[in-house]
Amino acid sequence: MGNNKVLTSILLVIYLSQYGYVSTTSSDNVDVDEGADGVCGAQGEMSMSSSSLLRMAELEERIAQLEETVVKKYPEVKFLTYQDRKRILITGGAGFVGSHLVDRLMLQGHEVSVADNFFTGRKRNVEQWMGHENFELINHDIVNPLYIEVDEIYHLASPASPPHYMHNPVKTIKTNTMGTINMLGLGKRVRAKVLIASTSEVYGDPEVHPQGEEYWGHVNPIGPRACYDEGKRVAEALSYAYQKQEKVDVRVARIFNTYGPRMHMNDGRVVSNFILQSLQNQTIKIYGTGTQTRSFQYVSDLVDGLIALMNSNYTQPINIGNPEEHTIQEFAVMIRDLVGGTKSEIEHVSPVEDDPQKRRPDITRAKKELGWEPVVPLRVGLEKTIAYFRKELQRSSHSERNIFHPTQHNYHDTDNVIRIVKKGG
């Protein structure tokens, strides 16, 4: 008898005994008449001893305890009909951006598969969905082909921060070239739309400011960042080659610097560095003069932009970023103030090779074609990120969880901000 049947029988016996349908005898046997369909014959008399009842009660308690450990509660996902529900593959879905995209698409009611080799991603970024019938996690390196039936592919797999992508430059190039070929090949085979996560790094150290999509870039092809910058440029070139030659329906998102909860603690980027240094009362290190600029977008804005792009008919590259620009010095001071109560000093150290001096997206195209623009104020996003990092630092054992729940983005933070700019407006 399966576990459920045992449980049903026990519960039935206990229930019936309350109403006098089960008589207790001196025998230790429980006479439960099981019909051909496996359901107890309630009409036949059942008898059991008081010790059996006691044992059953103990068993019932034990089962309830076990159920508590295995029954998992998931965030409520929307119900979509068969026609509306899409099968979506997210490569790199266990990483920082990918995991937030997983959350949003799962909440929308789609079936989401993640393919990740866990180089920089972590299972715990998506643990909230493990076991959900709409979710699947595949341990897969996209340098190898993947055979799966899907309607859409968000291709995000690639290390994104300089220490990670410089760690194994050859692998970074393989992931962005061979991995992209594999995903475009899959898109061709199953006729899925493919969205490539490109980057503002395709503009290199830009000579135009702000950077619009028509700008071809200023990239050093043999510098330390080339494995990533050139890898992404090839990924873009491949996308349009597959579009032209194989009629693959492609989307290319040029993503600008993004921050938020679940960022890797050691990703070596400005936001995570400054937050960690401030939280730990360490010196905040600025590479160079600090007059170089960056524009940071909060991760939920990026996720909105990626989904809007996938759902649009626009196939040319499109910048997804926040045009609010600050110097690195300003970021350091702002983050130190938001962390509060820190003794961190700001120190300037030697500049990094090929570090772009100015970075700010021109998002006219995204506004016009997607009706998208970022809405989360820098201060709000930074506070959420600092809270996440603070909890992360407080962890001292594996069982202490620091889970950023999918609903914590609290999108209504931004309810009073108009997200949809009228198309063409």
Ligand X SMILES: NC(=O)c1ccc[n+]([C@@H]2O[C@H](COP(=O)([O-])OP(=O)(O)OC[C@H]3O[C@@H](n4cnc5c(N)ncnc54)[C@H](O)[C@@H]3O)[C@@H](O)[C@H]2O)c1
List contacts with ligand X (CB under 6 A): 91-92, 94-98, 116-121, 141-143, 156-160, 164, 175, 179, 197, 199, 255, 257-258, 264
The token pair at 400 is 């202490």
Which residues sit opposite 346 in a β-bridge? 284
Strands 293-295 and 325-327: antiparallel
Active-site residue, selected from the candidate residues 154, 165, 203, 228: 228
| Separation between Cα atoms, residue 275 and residue 163, nearest integer Å | 17
Nearest to 306 by CA among 85, 91, 84, 78: 91
Q: Is the peptide bond before 210 cis (omega within 30 degrees of 0)?
A: yes
Distance CA 154, CA 196 (A): 6
Q: Which CB atom, from 94 or from 318, has the smaller least distance to ligand X?
A: 94
Minimum distance of ligand X from residue 49's CB (angstroms) = 58
Smallest separation (angstroms) from ligand X to the CB of 183: 10
**Nearest-approach distance from CB 414 to ligand X, in angstroms:** 20
Residue closer to ligand X (CB basis): 109 or 169: 169
Q: Active site includes 228? A: yes
Which region holds residue 290: left if phi is over 0, alpha if psi is between -120 and 50, else beta?
left
Q: How far is the CB of 316 from ligand X (least distance, A)?
A: 18
Sign of CA dihedral 188, 144, 94, 236: negative
Q: How far is the CB of 37 from ligand X (least distance, A)?
A: 48
- Please report how close the Cβ of residue 54 comes to ligand X at its closest, in angstroms: 52
9 or 293, CB closer to ligand X?
A: 293
Report the C-alpha gap between 378 and 396 in whole angstroms: 30
Q: In angstroms, rounded to a whole number, what is the distance separating the alpha carbons of residues 372 and 305? A: 6
- Cβ nearer to ligand X, comparing 227 with 370: 227
Instruction: Please give the backbone phi and psi of residue 174, each rounded to the nearest 5 degrees, phi first.
Output: -60, -45
Smaller CB separation from ligand X, 22 or 137: 137
Between residues 25 and 266, which has the closer beta carbon with respect to ligand X? Answer: 266
Contacts of residues 5-13 at CB distance under 8 Å and 24 or more positions apart, as own/partner, are 5/38, 7/60, 7/63, 8/39, 9/34, 9/40, 10/56, 10/59, 10/60, 10/63, 11/60, 12/40, 12/42, 13/40, 13/46, 13/48, 13/53, 13/56
The set of residues, in sequence order, having a beta carbon less than 8 Å from that of 211 and lying 6+ positions away, is 200, 203, 319, 359, 360, 361, 362
Q: Which is nearer to ligand X, 22 or 309 (CB)?
A: 309
User: Minimal distance in Å, beta carbon 121 to ligand X?
Assistant: 2
Q: How far apart are CA 25 and CA 48, in angstroms?
A: 6
Q: Which residues are catalytic?
A: 228
